[in-house]
Structure 1
Amino acid sequence: MSTPAHGSPGDPLARERSHLSASRSALRAMREDVEALDISDVTANWVNAQILERQIQERVKALADLSDTPLFFGRLDYLHAPGADRAEGAEGERFYIGRRHVHDADGDPMVIDWRAPVSQPFYRASRKDPLDVALRRRFGYTGGDLTAYEDERLSDPAEEATTSKLLQREIERPRVGPMRDIVATIQPEQDEIVRSGLSGSVCVQGGPGTGKTAVGLHRVAYLLYAHRERLARTGTLVVGPNRSFLHYIEQVLPALGELTVRQATVDDLVAHVEVRGADEAAAAVVKGDARMAQVLRRAVYAHVTPPTEPVVVVRGSRRWRVPAYELADIVRELLDRDIRYGAARDALPQRIAHAVLVQMERAGEAPDDRVQDAVARNGAVKAAVKAVWPAVDPAKLVLRLLTDADFLAAHAEGILTEDERKTILWARPVRLVKSARWSAADAVLIDEAADLVERTHSLGHVVLDEAQDLSPMQYRAVGRRCSTGSATVLGDLAQGTTPWATRSWTEALAHLGKPEAAVEELTAGFRVPTDVIAYASRLLPHIAPGLTPVASVRENPGSFEVRPVRDTADTVAACEESLRNEGSTGLIAADARVPALAEALTAAGVPYLAPGEETTAETRLTLVPASLAKGLEYDYVVLDEPRAVVDGEPDERTGLRRLYVSLTRAVSGLIVTHTAPLPAQLG
């Protein structure tokens, strides 16, 4: 293994720098070729021209050369040509592994996309199973400059196995700004999940620092590479817990050349109404319970009324009569088919018209499809459909359930208890949908009702991050978006901080509609220092008994201190101490204490950001309410008053989970400051 820092023109490092320079030139030529495309004679109309123009612009963006992002990070020297018969003695080939494919003017590859099959051994090869790799080379960069390399001769039994210093350095590198991709440091167990097929769904249980979010995002990138045409038609979506989180991860996929993946929160997906209210925890738990789906189904289909009158259609001098019993048979058949309410309602006039056409044929007439369509539009048929199968407005339906005690009781009988019904009923009657103070849980109910009426559009693949905090009804809402596609579910049962937090992945996946999904567990911690994760893991027996603690594999132990302080001024001093180090610092505190800490930071002249705002060289401190800390990470964290974090939640177990999340946001160092006694569970 070698790590030269400098090199003369004849040195390996100089040759690698030359290849980097040539690859950048080739990428620039690829981009210029796309920019020079003339589509004036290609398209027949302006619509196609605009679509093609947009596709060209997206391709140009995907070929951008980011100066501070290495174009390639590794090299593989094969013993034999991949796919060749080894008995023929075919000479091995050399491949540079990078974030995207780059070829020269002749079309020969200069950099291979990390997702290509030939790149897989970069992540999976080992001395025990070298996968025909003679040499694996890793590159080290400072900014965008190639400054070092390391070699592993996997086929040489005499060379001793050692830990990659460059790999450790990349994992532990300080972070400023949004989340980065991890293509240079993907581990074998992570790569196995990343490259799992599109047809199957995967659930990843991973503790803090195990890279589950990165694995999910890189799986999207891999699937887009392996199934681009299919996913271009069906679409992909990443669902995160809040806007701050989505802003933190939003640069990962574009850095890998993927620009078409939509990002949203669950609230974005179900935004049928404006959310202006909030539920008490007890009401939110009932509204989020999967039993509400049964209540809504009953309420929707209760609108169907068995017909009691015949339908009489007048055409010219003839009158055609469909008796009530025949109408009832048609309605019963549509109900038995269990299709969407709206689809059945649309089918009903055609079914009635068909019954009329049968009578016409028996009378010797020869009606065609145009006659059937005309009968279906007949006023008598329309009136019958309106009476038997009226239109349903999902928002109005949910509003009536939440404001009409008798209506709710009729459809929740045997499903919700009387106390549960009282819990979700609004105190004041509201008549208009627009004037209602809808909560986030109400919006999910409306989405469920809307899907009962009209099928929700399904995507090809959905990534659901921080899934442990979703209610059963929220899982159903996300599941509708991938009912004909697959899903990647990411989460940590120990970090569930909502009153309805997931108790088991088996239960959650059933609500999502993916009970067959494989559950994988990541237990190797790459980001959180050993002492920090060991301290936080003291809470696991109290918040998630039976869950495997994360084992930190970092060589750098980081720093950790529990520090009694007198007041907020001492906490600000701890922040200033952390800011003397390279990288970002997060001051995490109970939501109720954030205003006082903001005032103290301002008084001390320490600039700070809110979660979601990008750190800069001048402002590297973020003041983070504990409720928004999940999914974020900082090089150094100052955690203010653990007792206040616990007490800020409705119950102790939820508070301890919130504390576990807050304790595990640090990548290099953690200082816990407190004036009140620490929670007993921390020992």
Structure 2
Amino acid sequence: MSDDPLLLAERRHLHESLACLEQMREAAMRIADYGVDALASESLGRLRADRLDQLSVDGSAPPFFGRTDRDPDSQHPAGEVFHIGRRHIRDSSGDPMVIDWRAPIARPFYRASTADRQGVRLRRRFGFADGRLTSFEDEHLDAGEELGLASDLLRDEIERPRVGPMRDIVATIQPDQDELVRADLDTSLCIQGAPGTGKTAVGLHRAAYLLYSYPERLRRSGVLVVGPNSAFLRYIAQVLPALGENGIQQSTVDQLVSSLPAAAADPVLVAILKGDARMAELLRRAVFSFIAKPTEDLVPIVGTRRYRIPVERLRRYVDDARRSMAAGELRWDSARERLRQLLAQDVRRQREDAGGAPSDAETAKVARSPQVREFLDAVWPALDPRAVLVRLYTEPEFARRCAGDRLSAEELDLLSWTRQPGSAGQAVPQPARPGAKQARATRYARFSPADLVLLDELAGLITGVDGFVHVVVDEAQDLSPMQCRAVARRCPLGSLTVLGDQAQTTTPWAAGSWPLALAHLGHPGAQIRPLTIGYRVPAEVLEVANRLLPHIAADVPPASSVRTGEQALSYTADLTGAVRRCLAAEGSIAVIVPDARVPGVLSELAAAGITAAGLESEAAGRVTVVPATAAKGLEFDSVVLLEPAEIVAAEPSRLAGLRRLYVCWTRAVSRLAVVHTEPLPAELAGQPRVM
């Protein structure tokens, strides 16, 4: 095929495209700074840097991966030809050499079929090896030819071994995935995706698509990607830069809310309670409890004159501020500042009514006067979220008043530090109201991860938090209601892409269903869209994993896979033998083990002469030992799974253990070797005995 004139022509187009891309980079580097002013120079520098990032060349990624030939029309009698790639490339005349995969004209590459050609008569896919174009595969849609997943090149790309972080999937996006990727910005989606269906990739590619399609709205306020842990964020970190998108913020929920380090751990029952949505009302009542009713007139002094603000008017000002805050129009601090300005303006009007002409500076001085400051401290004091939370934990009577009938006495006991010495937090006794002593006392407090989420809720009430136009939340099924609220605060007016699988829920504080989670995320009307066709996990592996579904998530539909694999699933008692067999194949390898066994397995592999590293290690290599609790969201070409029964037993309940096993069982892209000497869990009935 190397002498095929069509292949030679495509290679010429490849080389010309690379040359044009280099010319575009050189042109971007020549963007001149004429020194108009410092602000213009800084803006121009950012523009140049962003443009160079977008045009950065990834040597492992060819400039295009597909092509569409369009039907002839009056303007193009021969029909137009478009090469589809990761970024737009134009020649010196401005004509396109490669079309960005996100452009509307590229959509038919993913969606066209013989039943709905969308103007495409031919679709061509390309095969590459070491950056060299080696083959192509055509579908003549106008002649009824449609390969779909029977395409050898498509399957080769899906199954291509990987070492290192997650890759983009722009060359293999399927129609059901593309429909979700190209949903408009104002649409919130919840994607219930079975293992291997590409839900994470869909979410990331949707972020890239939205940034391309709505640049003005998104680049100002940004896109946030929330993942389950730091290992997962490292795994996906290169997907968006590979698509030419930089500057997207990526964070775990813990990182998102961490105003200070978590230095304590909650018992499970306490963590569940702190993640309960009822805590939001308790915190809201705690904040509002610091509003006091004015009891006497306020008399600010201006020069030698005294101006009286009657107590009735003061009460009206305070009530108006309370209502504005209750309606969500103001935060505590901004309401306090508005109240300050209302008092200063009241004095200004009195002075004007008396014939005076007070200046803005004089009015501002009244707002800062001792009388106004003392009034505010008495009726609307400045609050520190940490001080408020510590008071709830250390003053049982205050906590009881704030809880009302929402929490039982037993639940309040779980929260109380004074009744639970040595638990999550320790603090010295607190004064009745926030102040200097209480602020100092919070230095002794030790907060847990669940506490940090509560502090974020308080910060949202008191000061507010930064927001984004779009947020992608992966593994969202594990979030507590209060964690969901923390995400919702970052996206009060924007849209969400929520990704997850209820069958993979492994936290005891999870919301429990998508409708509940979406309500807490602030988007109860989000569309819930299932993905059930697996493209990454072999059918043999999924078939066994699906046996767990009736026990862990009866409402979740089982997944099917378009792929089968030779020796995709095997069982053995020999750990090092299983790893060596995986090393004989290409790609990345994970040894997923019960958490407590990580050090021992690393030592065992080292003694056998097999180089392996832990998940958090900086050392790069093919073999990674992964604790079972950190496997979620990751995938590897080969997985060696050690002692499934022990993984199940390590969790606090049978349900949680089986869900953990479901996660670990479905991390393999090509092959899964199950290593066990203990019997497999009964829920996997029908599997062969160990050989």
Number of the residue aligned with 1:598 = 602
Q: Pick the aligned partner of 1:115 from 92, 102, 118.
A: 102
Q: Pick the aligned partner of 1:430 from 427, 430, 437.
A: 427
SS in 1 for 2:412: helix
Number of the residue aligned with 2:431 = none
1:34: how far off?
1.1
Shifted more, 639-648 versus 329-338: the winner is: 329-338
Letter in 1 for 2:512: R
Q: Pick the aligned partner of 2:183 from 196, 200, 206.
A: 196
Number of the residue aligned with 1:57 = 49
Shifted more, 361-370 versus 126-135: the winner is: 361-370
Number of the residue aligned with 1:546 = 555
1:20-74 alpha-carbon deviations (Å, 9 max, x no partner): 00100000011011112221x15312x4323422331232122122111111000
Number of the residue aligned with 1:294 = 281
Number of the residue aligned with 1:663 = 665
Number of the residue aligned with 1:34 = 28
Counterparts in 2 of 1:173-572, with a 5 A limit?
173-338=160-325, 339-367=330-358, 369-426=360-417, 427-428=420-421, 429-431=426-428, 432-556=441-565, 559-563=568-572, 565=573, 570-572=574-576
Give the whole-Å Cα distance in 1 for the aligned partners of 2:580 and 2:567.
18
1:251-309 alpha-carbon deviations (Å, 9 max, x no partner): 10111111111111111111111111111111100001111110111111111111112
User: Unaligned stretches of 5+ in structure 1?
Assistant: none
SS in 1 for 2:673: strand
Number of the residue aligned with 2:3 = 7
Letter in 1 for 2:401: A
Letter in 2 for 1:351: L
SS in 2 for 1:599: helix
The answer as to whether partners of 2:223 and 2:470 remain within 8 angstroms in 1 is yes
Shifted more, 262-271 versus 402-411: the winner is: 402-411
1:434: how far off?
3.1
The answer as to whether partners of 1:203 and 1:489 remain within 8 angstroms in 2 is yes
Give the whole-Å Cα distance in 2 for the aligned partners of 1:263 and 1:324.
50
1:75 correspondence with 2:67: yes
The answer as to whether partners of 1:245 and 1:612 remain within 8 angstroms in 2 is no
Give the whole-Å Cα distance in 2 for the aligned partners of 1:161 and 1:287.
49
Count residues in correspondence. Answer: 663
The answer as to whether partners of 2:91 and 2:97 remain within 8 angstroms in 1 is yes
1:610 correspondence with 2:614: yes
**RMSD between aligned residues:** 1.8
Give the whole-Å Cα distance in 2 for the aligned partners of 1:557 and 1:187.
24
1:595-636 alpha-carbon deviations (Å, 9 max, x no partner): 2212211211211122255785xx311100000000011111
Give the whole-Å Cα distance in 2 for the aligned partners of 1:294 and 1:119.
48
1:372: how far off?
3.3
Letter in 2 for 1:571: L
Shifted more, 257-266 versus 155-164: the winner is: 155-164
Give the whole-Å Cα distance in 2 for the aligned partners of 1:314 and 1:422.
48
1:229: how far off?
1.7
Number of the residue aligned with 1:126 = 113
Give the whole-Å Cα distance in 1 for the aligned partners of 2:149 and 2:490.
46
The answer as to whether partners of 1:529 and 1:558 remain within 8 angstroms in 2 is no
Q: Pick the aligned partner of 2:136 from 149, 171, 178.
A: 149
Give the whole-Å Cα distance in 2 for the aligned partners of 1:121 and 1:229.
26
SS in 2 for 1:59: helix
Q: Pick the aligned partner of 1:94 from 81, 86, 90.
A: 81
Give the whole-Å Cα distance in 1 for the aligned partners of 2:513 and 2:54.
39
Number of the residue aligned with 1:22 = 16
The answer as to whether partners of 2:194 and 2:531 remain within 8 angstroms in 1 is yes
Letter in 1 for 2:504: Q
The alpha-carbon distance between structure 1 residues 124 and 615, as it changes in their structure 2 partners (threshold 3 A), is farther
Number of the residue aligned with 2:432 = none
The alpha-carbon distance between structure 1 residues 641 and 159, as it changes in their structure 2 partners (threshold 3 A), is closer
Shifted more, 139-148 versus 48-57: the winner is: 48-57
Give the whole-Å Cα distance in 2 for the aligned partners of 1:612 and 1:597.
15
Give the whole-Å Cα distance in 2 for the aligned partners of 1:504 and 1:21.
51
Counterparts in 2 of 1:640-679, with a 5 A limit?
640-679=642-681
Give the whole-Å Cα distance in 1 for the aligned partners of 2:44 and 2:184.
30
Give the whole-Å Cα distance in 1 for the aligned partners of 2:379 and 2:144.
80
The answer as to whether partners of 1:584 and 1:615 remain within 8 angstroms in 2 is no
Give the whole-Å Cα distance in 2 for the aligned partners of 1:263 and 1:161.
34
The answer as to whether partners of 1:174 and 1:584 remain within 8 angstroms in 2 is yes
The alpha-carbon distance between structure 1 residues 89 and 628, as it changes in their structure 2 partners (threshold 3 A), is closer
The alpha-carbon distance between structure 1 residues 310 and 192, as it changes in their structure 2 partners (threshold 3 A), is same
The answer as to whether partners of 1:592 and 1:648 remain within 8 angstroms in 2 is no
Give the whole-Å Cα distance in 2 for the aligned partners of 1:256 and 1:161.
24
SS in 2 for 1:321: coil
Give the whole-Å Cα distance in 2 for the aligned partners of 1:644 and 1:666.
19
Number of the residue aligned with 2:435 = none
Give the whole-Å Cα distance in 1 for the aligned partners of 2:544 and 2:213.
41
Give the whole-Å Cα distance in 2 for the aligned partners of 1:665 and 1:26.
40
Q: What's the TM-score once normalised by structure 2's chain length?
A: 0.93
Shifted more, 395-404 versus 460-469: the winner is: 395-404
The alpha-carbon distance between structure 1 residues 453 and 374, as it changes in their structure 2 partners (threshold 3 A), is same
Give the whole-Å Cα distance in 1 for the aligned partners of 2:356 and 2:109.
74
Give the whole-Å Cα distance in 2 for the aligned partners of 1:353 and 1:481.
33
Number of the residue aligned with 2:434 = none
The answer as to whether partners of 1:645 and 1:658 remain within 8 angstroms in 2 is yes
SS in 2 for 1:521: strand
Q: Pick the aligned partner of 2:641 from 614, 628, 639.
A: 639
The alpha-carbon distance between structure 1 residues 556 and 125, as it changes in their structure 2 partners (threshold 3 A), is farther
Letter in 2 for 1:425: S
Shifted more, 257-266 versus 359-368: the winner is: 359-368
The answer as to whether partners of 1:177 and 1:615 remain within 8 angstroms in 2 is no
The answer as to whether partners of 2:139 and 2:145 remain within 8 angstroms in 1 is no
The answer as to whether partners of 2:565 and 2:671 remain within 8 angstroms in 1 is no
User: Unaligned stretches of 5+ in structure 2?
Assistant: 429-440, 686-691
The answer as to whether partners of 1:74 and 1:137 remain within 8 angstroms in 2 is yes
Give the whole-Å Cα distance in 1 for the aligned partners of 2:521 and 2:145.
51
Give the whole-Å Cα distance in 2 for the aligned partners of 1:318 and 1:451.
40
Give the whole-Å Cα distance in 2 for the aligned partners of 1:592 and 1:412.
39
1:628 correspondence with 2:630: yes
SS in 2 for 1:322: coil
1:340: how far off?
1.3
1:48 correspondence with 2:36: no
1:140-193 alpha-carbon deviations (Å, 9 max, x no partner): 111211111000011114788882111111111111111000000000111011
Give the whole-Å Cα distance in 2 for the aligned partners of 1:170 and 1:279.
45
1:329: how far off?
1.4
Letter in 1 for 2:37: A
1:454: how far off?
1.4
1:482: how far off?
1.0
1:585: how far off?
1.1
Shifted more, 177-186 versus 51-60: the winner is: 51-60
